[in-house]
Amino acid sequence: MIARFIACLFAVCVASFAVAQDTGLRRLDTGEDSRDWGAVGRLEIDGRGFCTGALIAPGLVLTAAHCLYSKETGRRHDVGQIEFRAGWRNGRAEAYRKVKRAVVHPKYRYSGQTEIEDVQNDLALLELHHPIRNTKITPFETADTLRKGSRIGVVSYAVGRAEAPSFQEMCRVMGRQKGVYVLSCNIDFGSSGAPVFVFEDGAVRIASVVAAKAEVRGTKVALGAALDHSLDELFAARVDESPPVRSLTPLQDRNGTGAKFVRP
């Protein structure tokens, strides 16, 4: 159960959370502010909502798998109704692209059972109709792993800050179990699919994708899918059919742990 997993891991890493000097969110309103983050964009989904995604190749966006499913019906959204708006900021984007194909991790299942496997495999690739080739937009490379205590950052859109990306340039990896990171990052609805960046050796790479937010004993955390656990399988799945879908219960509080899980 995801709630039990969060509660157990929280007990181990709460001390490190208490001493982490996390920065707040900084809104990237100007071209100068967002100069290095143009490959992060807002995913407009069927005119009903949005998520965050990031380019990892000129024609390929990495995001969370659950963004592709309707909360009401549990069915996949029509990919023809999904648009990637790279560098979306105050009513304009650096580039607009429709999605040609969406590939969900083969082990991901959109269901009412919020197991740890749902989070660790919550990854999807969106193939764009036309690659984005723009001098202001450079796709990000990916990184294999994050260590406990690693300095990370998240660039995301969310409810209340949907018109420009926000950057939290320092939060921390609190721990990991299987393919799920627990992160001290500030996320909300709309942040699903946001890239989690690691800053090492002078480079910025994507090492995780925001899959969910959680609250344990009043402390808010983010859950991220680890790329080293699932990314290779996701790329291999580009030649396969997408798995069947089932409905999802968006909020769970199980076993009296006080842990609340919700898709952001």
Q: What does the pLDDT average to over 241-252?
A: 35
Count of beta carbons in the 10 Å neighbourhood of residue 195? 29
Q: Looking up tokens 């709630």, which residue turns up?
A: 3
Total count of domains within the chain: 1
Q: 4 vs 7, 11, 62, 246, 261, CA distance in Å?
A: 5, 11, 28, 23, 11
The model's pTM? 0.85
Range of the structural domain that residue 231 is part of: 2-262
pLDDT digits (tens, 9 = 90+) for 55-99: 999 999 999 999 999 988 889 999 999 999 999 999 999 999 999
pLDDT digits (tens, 9 = 90+) for 209-218: 999 988 767 7
Burial class (CB in 10 A: 0-12, 13-18, 19+), 160: exposed
pLDDT digits (tens, 9 = 90+) for 111-125: 755 667 789 999 999
Specify the length of the chain in residues: 264
**Domain containing residue 117: CATH number:** 2.40.10.120
What residues pair up with 152 in beta bridges, in sequence order? 171, 198
Q: What does the pLDDT average to over 225-237?
A: 90
Higher pLDDT, 51 or 253: 51
Q: In the predicted model, is pLDDT for residue 149 greater than 60?
A: yes
pLDDT digits (tens, 9 = 90+) for 31-51: 888 889 999 999 999 888 999
